[in-house]
Chains A and B, each alone.
Chain A
């Protein structure tokens, strides 16, 4: 079992800033979902909450529930969440920049036996030959795409059941974004992972997920399959039309569809 359920989650930062205002979402075992939304929608807050990392950002769960593999995880610290099989790749490509590629991988593999570590590291080097070529270089000197690949490799070494990836395409060229999405999809299928993909690049996300949640201002404003999302005029106008300046709430039909808010 590798599923995550979020029910009516409210998160507050510094006791006053309400970043999530009752978000509900779920990802079933082996499913891939995308969380879409503009800057400030609360996507990264949701990732932090799922990973148990809110205290690191001076945030806390005010109300609601996060259930990971049947176990309530609202107030679990990050280490306990990791033990439940959830690994989060946070936004901004948080590799260890002063560690070499190999050291980054060793750091992520801290719980594995040397034998298992070697097996998975070999697999990572086979999947990402470029990472193998640069294995003795400091992580900070890798390109954005290489750093993203390294992060995926590090995540694999934690043997996750649920993988949450925050904005993997940020700052990458379209070609590299496509490559990252292909790898994510491949990993999910090979490993049977449950994937929660947080993205602003909707077109990239649609290619590999089954269901989509659109968030805005701390709320989920759209929920449906990837096909439904692509067929929805508002979603498409907001994400792919590029003509709406004021955010999702300004999309043509948004105000008429009260059920969203």
Chain B
């Protein structure tokens, strides 16, 4: 076994996994805060990636990504206020159908606003060369990491860890966890639950935007297109493996699935072509069969 190849695979796996972790942690955050399974998460990624693309037409890519974040946050808040809030408390199937409808609506809106063709970051025309972030690719002792992977490791991974930390220790994180348990009890204590929930949706959209922009190739050339919607499906296995209601779980599961995919690509893909795409979903089947709470899912506290 080539040691440097293994190290390179681990780092690449973690880099991809960090993106899954970022998107899935935002997805789980919304589920925690509102019990809504956001089936439009892939479209949140898509919109975030397109917002980054639009900004990148006017600014350097890194600045564009930073500018797209508040826009994505505002988009998330808007969706919560206009679409989710009126549905809260309704039948769960109705809410699920509604978020699927939201996904289709956002998909169509993106199609109208940005057109059906794949874009290149910072390029008004696909024939132009895409803008790129500063090149951080490195090759050390036989370990090669692309610039995209390095950016993902230094930007996405710390962000996911920051979210977990803030959720655990910051005052707003505690309020969010309180509201996620009982909005009524929170309101009785004077906690502005609607605002807390809206912020959760905003953060979720922001995380999806980062993940979406990176998966679309923000750091390594390329650009957003509708293929992102399919990539977004990865959120569900990650969330389920993590326990569905645990943000730290989503981060760990994202990294794990990234690693598993990377090793599958290295060792399995040659004699089982296509297995890498299937593996996360096989994991979901196993998790649901043998450990429905996932890695970090909450066990209900019941006094007897």
Contacts and interface: CB of A to CB of B under 8 A. Distances in A.
Interface of A: 51-53, 56-57, 78-79, 82-83, 87-90, 94-99, 103-104, 106-108, 110-111, 138, 140-141, 144, 154-155, 158
Contacts of A83: 190
A158 B185 contact: no
A13 to B, nearest CB: 14
Contacts, number: 79
Given A79-B190, A87-B190, A99 B184 contact: no
Contact of B188 (A88, A99, A104, A111): A88
Contacts of A56: 183-184, 187
Given A79-B192, A138-B301, A141-B301, A97 B181 contact: yes
A94 B184 contact: yes
A57 B185 CA distance: 12
B242 to A, nearest CB: 16
Contact of A107 (B174, B184, B298): B174
- Binding site secondary structure of chain B: helix
Nearest to A102: B174
Contacts of A154: 189
A90 B188 contact: yes
Given A140-B301, A141-B301, A87 B188 contact: yes
Contacts of B178: 96, 99, 103-104, 107
A90 B188 CA distance: 8
Nearest to B186: A107
A78 B298 contact: no
24 contacts: A52-B187, A53-B184, A79-B187, A79-B192, A82-B187, A82-B189, A87-B188, A87-B189, A87-B190, A90-B184, A90-B188, A96-B182, A97-B181, A98-B181, A98-B301, A99-B174, A99-B178, A106-B171, A107-B174, A107-B175, A107-B189, A140-B303, A141-B301, A141-B303
